[in-house]
Amino acid sequence: MSKYCVFCGNPLKETDKYCIICGKPVLTNLSKPQTKPEPKFRKVEVEPEPIEKDYEEEEVEDLKRTKKNKKDKKKKEFESGEKPLPFEVKEQMILYIEFNDIQLNKKILAEKLKDVQNSLKDPRYDVEMDYKKTITVKLDAIKTLIAELKQKESEIEVKMEKPFIVQRIQDDIEKKIFQLKNLTKEYKLKKVDEESFEKLKGKYKQEKEDLEVERTNLIEGMKLWIKELKLEKAELQADLNLNKGRFSAKEISETDYNEKAKDYDLKLKKIDIKIKTLEDLIK
């Protein structure tokens, strides 16, 4: 009966007293192990690291998640009836807002210019060179800024589409209404046959309905933007009130209070300009 080394599992001859593999003494009266001995040297298959596979799987998962998110977003928009504003419309809205913002900045600069010009009447202007130099520098700076604003105003005005798309669509709707009324009048006077009347009537009505849907979607999208701006305004108003409270509690100096109050006031005016611009555009 074959013998095996109890230490390494190597097959042994009957006459072996030591294992030729591990060198351990052979133990007698031991039968063959129940399990098949594992050879000392065996071929080990090394699987390549699945780096590329994992990376590809991760890309696939990311793609699936992106598609799912887009699908969920579209589903949400469909269920809520909200549709994103077209890029061209957003671009025009921004142009209108920037144009009106320039009007505000011009007004602020005009007030500053008036204050600096009043300094020319100060007796120091004629006798103190440093004072005169300071006033001159301020005047030049303000005039330069006003000139730059006027240049930017002209550039924006060229890009602005007038009337705004909402007003244009409304004009088209009114044209369709006129066409329908005129068509009915012509039909009653028997200037249009019944077949042509029905065909044109259906065409004008469908075009009118499509325009009304487009106008409604645009207005709803603009109203959402107005809502967001009003929330931003409420937050700024809260910060302004907090600033007043901190000044009343003497947590900040009068200088800090005035600077922050002035900053908040300007931001509020700019938000008001945006809100008013959008509200005017949807009328």
Count Cβ neighbours within 10 Å for each residue of 227-236 and write b for 16 or more, e otherwise: eebeeebeeb
In the chain, where are the structural domains located?
1-39, 86-162, 163-283
Amino acid at residue number 22: C
| C-alpha pair distances (Å), 96 with each of 61, 108, 193, 267 | 42, 19, 47, 18
For the question of whether the overall pTM of this predicted structure is more than 0.95, the answer is no
Mean pLDDT of the chain: 84
Cα–Cα distance for residue pair 56/94, rounded to 1 Å? 41
Contacts of 212 (CB under 8 A, 6+ apart): 173
pLDDT tens readout for residues 110-151 = 999 999 999 999 999 999 999 999 999 999 999 999 999 999
Q: Which residue has the tokens 């294992």?
A: 19
Instruction: Give the three-state DSSP class for 262.
Output: helix
pLDDT tens readout for residues 195-251 = 999 999 999 999 999 999 999 999 999 999 999 999 999 999 999 999 999 999 999
Instruction: Give the three-state DSSP class for 71.
Output: helix
